[in-house]
Structure 1
Amino acid sequence: MNFSELFVLIIEPSRVQRTIIINHLKSFGITHIDEYDEGQSALTAIRLQTPDIVLSSMHLPDMTGTDVINIMRQDTSLADITFLLVSSETHYRYLEPIRQSGAIAILPKPFTRKDLGVALQSTLHYLIDIDTPDDSKPEDFENIRILLVDDSSVSRKYLHQTLTNIGIHEITEAKDGAEALETLKQQTFDLIISDYNMPNIDGREMVEYIRAHGQQPTIPVMMVTSEQNKNQLAAIQNAGVSALCAKPLSYDIMKKVIEQLVLNDDI
């Protein structure tokens, strides 16, 4: 599979912005492009012919990009389609649901061709791994045991699917740090992938407990968070995380970080 085989559906109310995006896509050899100026007609089209990528603006005439991805994630026939937001929006209340719902990237307006290329390449690898039979995937991933910790069921589902695409199937889920610590008393894992902001026991507190009192004090912990506060991020680092990654997390970065933390491969 290559760029020329990708089918991209664009949702953008501005004709000028749609033209800019289309020209960028064509520069990568992508010609199978559908364009819509509002959300509902785009969702109808998506159900009729499934695109590889939905590339949407945030503010649409009839809904927001957040509404679009939420509807997609709640529909089993659309839930696994990759979603890319292109927006000048910076407000937390708009962007946080996008981050939690598993967007493959959030690009600013204006974005560079290079930034778009990185997102497209990551999507391509995601789609290739979906279509690759497990017996053709690297055996190194086959026996990796992962504890996935996130209070968002939507985020857990997306991350679980991403790990499955990589070739990892021994995945145990926990909805917060407290449940994760109880699970760690019963089972051993090769890697913990955790959110930071969670009820009861958050990601930082969980890592601090594991490092000081856990039965696996040296287990690698990959923290995936949308936290923006620099002081909070510094505290997470000091707690002893092995890798701190920002949401949205691209497929390629997740795969490379897992290789580095578990398989000791260089990034």
Structure 2
Amino acid sequence: MEKLSISDLHIVLVEPSDTQRKIITTLLLKENVKEIDPVSTLAEARTAIKSHGADLIVSAMYFEDGTALELLQFVKESSEFASVPFMLVSSENRMSKLEQLKQAGVAAILPKPFEPLHLSRALNASLDLINHDELELDLFDVQDVRVLLVDDSRLARNHIRRVLEGMGLKKIKEAENGATALTLIKDEPFDLVVTDYNMPEMDGRELSEFVRFNPETAHIPIIMVTSESADSAHMANIQQTGVNALCDKPFEPNEVRAMLAALLGE
């Protein structure tokens, strides 16, 4: 399939404020976006997406008829639109609110106001999700790499799976927590573990400790996916368990690609 560029993108812009819609539209036009479908409510957004589709959804957080989380869940739970990247533009900075969006698979979060550089980066990260580039490895055929994906959020697993599959990884098994993952690890071999940090029953830190300190699995690279701050006490403790790489939610495909190339190319 031919790759899209920023100028090819059809964007549905969901913003309740007339002024903000005009500002964001102007900035998108400056980035060479040609097709923008501006709407002001969730109902209008659903109608626009169902009628015309979208390559990217750019949405504010709060509307008179709901929130961005509801729209994101509508998109991600639809077989037709689940692969459409979703970008949040909001002044919301409460971690509890943003965490829900991150867990549901938002592709990028931009603060209000944002710099043109931030918008450009977010647009390119969204393009990376749309345009699939197979990862080239010296020691593996990427399609033979056996991945264990562990996250208690189904939407988050779906998002991470799509990113990995876009890079050519096909053999992906899923687990909803560390305890289930342990059962799988004991029964079959894996070349890579990608795990969330916050999970019930057994979290990512406990899972990583088991993998790293068990002689039969100690060699498996581990990528920890988390929305925790990189300099938090939790992250310092996690790095001591032997996790090979920490990856933010939402994570950018280019960042993940570089991590995979380094970990699987060793």
Using the size of structure 1 for normalisation, the TM-score is 0.92
Which has a greater percent of helix?
A: 1
Is 1:97 aligned with 2:100?
yes
- Tell me the CA shift for residue 256 of structure 1: 2.0
Q: Which amino acid aligns with 2:109?
A: I
The unaligned stretches of length 5 or more in structure 1 are none
Is 1:166 aligned with 2:162?
no
1:185 touches 1:215 (CA, 8 Å); kept in 2? no
**From 235, 244, 252, the counterpart of 2:254:** 252
- Aligned runs of 1:193-204 on 2, under 5 Å? 193-204=194-205
- List 4+ stretches of structure 1 deviating above 3 A: 137-140
- Tell me the CA shift for residue 214 of structure 1: 4.7
Q: Deviations over 1:34-60 (max 9, x none)?
A: 101111111111011111110000011
Q: Which residue of 1 aligns with 2:213?
A: 212
Q: Provide the aligned C-alpha RMSD in A.
A: 1.6
Q: Which amino acid aligns with 2:243?
A: V
1:104 touches 1:251 (CA, 8 Å); kept in 2? no
Q: How many residues align?
A: 259
- Aligned runs of 1:138-149 on 2, under 5 Å? 138=136, 140-149=141-150
- Aligned runs of 1:61-72 on 2, under 5 Å? 61-72=64-75
Q: Deviations over 1:71-130 (max 9, x none)?
A: 11122222111100011101233211110111111111111111111111122222221x
- Tell me the CA shift for residue 14 of structure 1: 1.3
- Tell me the CA shift for residue 138 of structure 1: 4.2
Question: 1:17 & 1:257 partners in 2: Cα distance?
Answer: 36
Q: Which residue of 1 aligns with 2:185?
A: 184
1:126 touches 1:165 (CA, 8 Å); kept in 2? yes
Question: 2:167 & 2:53 partners in 1: Cα distance?
Answer: 22
Helix, strand or coil: the match of 1:51?
coil
- Aligned runs of 1:238-249 on 2, under 5 Å? 238-249=240-251
**From 30, 34, 42, the counterpart of 2:37:** 34
Question: 2:91 & 2:12 partners in 1: Cα distance?
Answer: 19
Q: Which amino acid aligns with 2:125?
A: S
1:66 touches 1:94 (CA, 8 Å); kept in 2? no
Q: Which residue of 2 aligns with 1:237?
A: 239
The unaligned stretches of length 5 or more in structure 2 are none
Question: 2:79 & 2:100 partners in 1: Cα distance?
Answer: 18
Question: 1:240 & 1:25 partners in 2: Cα distance?
Answer: 42
